[in-house]
Amino acid sequence: MIYVLNGPNLRRLGTREPDVYGAETFADLTELCKATGRELGVEVEVRQTDDEATMIGWIHEAADGKIPVVLNPAAFTHYSYGLRDAIAQRTAPLVEVHISNPAAREEFRHNSVVAGVATGTIAGFGLRSYVLALHAIMEMASK
């Protein structure tokens, strides 16, 4: 099992700033992640929340279950020290992903408070960032 957790506004993919995030929808993202999981022989559960407390709860759940995580923290990336502290308790790989490249956007997006406690970060490859992260987690698990 791998959790794919998504933060604020990601359910609005396809309509939210398509010039930045593309025309693909959250349903497209969910299917892509599940299909990638099938190819890799692992179950993938995709979730999205606009609520910081819910996200922290999911990270605790993953830590307690030793479940790897692909995490797009979205806006939480830049300010959620609560999420950062939850990720620091992880017991399995956690890959931070972003659809766009935050470093190429507005200055306030350049800092990630969660990157320092993630296993790694993949950004700027559109929805393919998730595919790359799922492959990376499976590669880490095989070692």
Where is the binding site for substrate, in residues? 72, 78, 85, 99-100, 109
**Of 21, 79, 130, 135, which one is the catalytic site residue?**
21
Q: Please provide the DSSP assignment of 30-52 as one string.
A: HHHHHHHHHHHT--EEEEE-S-H
In 3D space, the residue among 16, 86, 14 whose CA is nearest the CA of residue 53 turns out to be 86
Distances (CA, A) of 101 to 2, 42, 114, 139: 23, 27, 15, 23
Distances (CA, A) of 12 to 1, 15, 123: 25, 6, 19
Based on the residue annotation, tell me whether 21 is a catalytic residue of this protein: yes
Based on the residue annotation, tell me whether 130 is a catalytic residue of this protein: no
Active site residues: 21, 98
